[in-house]
Structure 1
Amino acid sequence: MELSEDILDRVDGDVLTITLNRPDEGNGLTDVAIGALTALLNGAAARARMVVLTSAGDDFCVGRIAPRGAAAPKLEALQVRRGRDLVFNCYSAFRESPAPIIAAVKGRALGFGCAIAACADITIAADNAVFQMPEFAHNIMPTIAMSALLGKVSAKRLMYIAYSTNTMSAERAERMGFVSETVPPANLEASVGQLTATILKAPQPAVLAIKEYARVAPSMDIRGAIDYARSLHAVVNSSSEMRP
């Protein structure tokens, strides 16, 4: 299934691997490639039980590549908002996909690349990975990228990331909360494979329910989140699909 030569996909058993494939340009993504990534994520659950997002070459993704050529025309606010739907739809695809998504991050993850690394359900980073949201330094108000980190980091940390535009090591990104685990570069693929195998040993209803609860519960009040946990626990664990 090829939607863009910059985005490759392969299904091996129950795992859909999506590879950002523009290594000569740090895997920066054009709008066409972002649309292809969104389409793959939206259709992932029909093809596999899990998704692994990885990259070719030395970097994960250095960001979104603006169209080259003539200067962009001046647009009205409504047109601008519609034009940004491409990015928001991609972020939503990460959140809404029933299939868990693991991002394997190495090298640079900048701007849009940092955002999609954070959007993944689990982010495993090589210790040579570097994360940054540089928009504010380029006179761009960065709420699009900031929205990707909602629910991943605290408000104080989110404001620091956006205002400072500092680069962050994988270890610091892990402390910030949007990297799950940091490993040596040589162990990145094996670490992702080990976690993937662990998840796939579980019955599918449990795999789906964990992501559903993690997605929905944080926006509920505590009483509602507890009641939802009780109901989901009862429904899933009593299912015949949970038994060997």
Structure 2
Amino acid sequence: MSDDFLIGKDGDVSTITINRPNEGNRVSDEMAIELTGILTDVSRDSRLIVFRGAGDNFCLGRAVMGSRGPLPEAYDAREKNDLVFNLYGAFRDAPVPVIGVIQGRATGLGCALAASCDITIAEHSSEFQAPEMSHNIMPTMLMSSLIDRMTMKGLLYLIYSTKAISAEQAMAFGIVSEVAPTDFLDVVLVELLVKLKAMPVPALKAVKEYAQNAMNLDAQGAANYARNLHATLNTSSKLRG
């Protein structure tokens, strides 16, 4: 593993930290690939994953890639873009809850990663921004990570305005779950972790599984899915023990 990420372990709770504070925790293509693998590996023996960035800012987006040069063929461009889509997918596909902890700015890819977490706690002074349109970059890659997290009006405002929004606005729009008072971010995180550590792992996994899949079903399908999970989990010795 490179020095770009730190992995911490407290029992069965894992913490992944982007460790490039001097570069605003900007994520390169190589880092995106590495982080995808880390999420997959860590989720195998964790009940919870905490995801955060070192330093003053959570993540200022993708690393500067220099001169664009000639446009690649569409097939090659798709392969290159897939590394970002795969990263978004790793957050969603992790079988355990991923908790994002946000301080400072979450810009572009950083905003997407914050939203991709299952629960996102943001410090009151944090800001979220999607500046792609102001740089003549199509924002649909970013939007794909937000489409089922945000209200449509909130999403379109974030994308079209390109303005930074506050943590309170981000919570109203659906990016953030809870806003922590300034300097109390870790206090709020620990309070949440204490509650989640007391819950059986099968229940933690089942809730995420249902949340990820039921939204794509019609009402009857969602009810049938819930009925199945309810019967399976409530009769499990792991849940009762």
Shorter-chain TM-score: which interval? over 0.9
Quote how far apart the aligned CAs of 1:42 are: 1.1
User: How does the TM-score come out when normalised to structure 1?
Assistant: 0.95
Q: CA deviation at 1:4?
A: 2.1
Deviation at 1:157, TM superposition (A): 2.1
In the other structure, the counterpart of 2:62 is 64
Using the size of structure 2 for normalisation, the TM-score is 0.97
Question: 1:21: Cα distance to partner?
Answer: 0.8
Report how far residue 184 of structure 1 moved.
1.4
Quote the residue 1:9 is aligned against: 7
Paired position in structure 1 for 2:99: 102
Gaps of 5+ in 2: none
Q: Residue 33 of structure 1 corresponds to which residue in structure 2?
A: 31
Shift in Å, 1:66: 3.2
Quote the RMSD (CA, aligned, Å).
1.1
Aligned to 1:44: 42
1:130 maps to 2:124: no
Query: Post-superposition shift, 1:71?
Result: 4.1
1:24 paired with 2:1, answer no
How far off its partner does 1:51 sit? Answer: 0.3
CA distance in 2, matches of 1:229, 1:28: 39
**1:144 maps to what in 2?**
141
Q: Partner letter of residue 206 of structure 2?
A: A
Equivalent pairs: percent with the same residue?
46
1:227 to 202, 224, 228: 224
Corresponding residue for residue 189 of structure 2: 192
Contact 1:102–1:120 (Cα < 8 Å) also in 2: yes
**8 Å Cα contact 1:4/1:32 also seen in 2:** no
Q: Of residues 161, 170, 173 in structure 1, which corresponds to 2:170?
A: 173
1:82 equivalent among 79, 82, 85: 79
Cα separation, 1, equivalents of 2:155 and 2:143:
7
Shift in Å, 1:67: 2.9
In 1, distance between residues paired with 2:110 and 2:41? 21
Distance 1:81 1:56 in 2: 31
Once residues 10 and 120 of structure 2 are traced to their aligned partners in structure 1, the CA distance between those partners, rounded to angstroms, is 20
> How many angstroms apart in 1 are the aligned matches of 2:74 and 2:90?
24
1:231 and 1:45 mapped to 2: Cα distance?
Answer: 24
Unaligned runs of 5+ in 1: none
Summarize deviations over 1:140-188 as a string: whole Å, max 9, x none: 1100000000211122222221111111000000011110000113111
Write the distance in 2 (CA, Å) between the matches of 1:97 and 1:72.
36
Distance, in Å, in 2 between the alignment partners of 1:242 and 1:33 is 37
Q: Is the 8 A contact 1:126 1:188 kept in 2?
A: yes
Distance in 2 (alpha carbons) for counterparts of 1:188 and 1:33: 26
**Does the 8 Å CA contact 1:106/1:125 hold for their aligned counterparts?**
yes
Output one character per residue of 1:83-115: Cα deviation in whole Å (capped at 9) or x when no partner. 101100000000000011000000000000000
Instruction: Give the paired residue count.
Output: 241
Q: Which of the residues 70, 80, 84 maps onto 1:73? A: 70
Q: Comparing 70-79 with 90-99, which one deviates more in the overlay?
A: 70-79
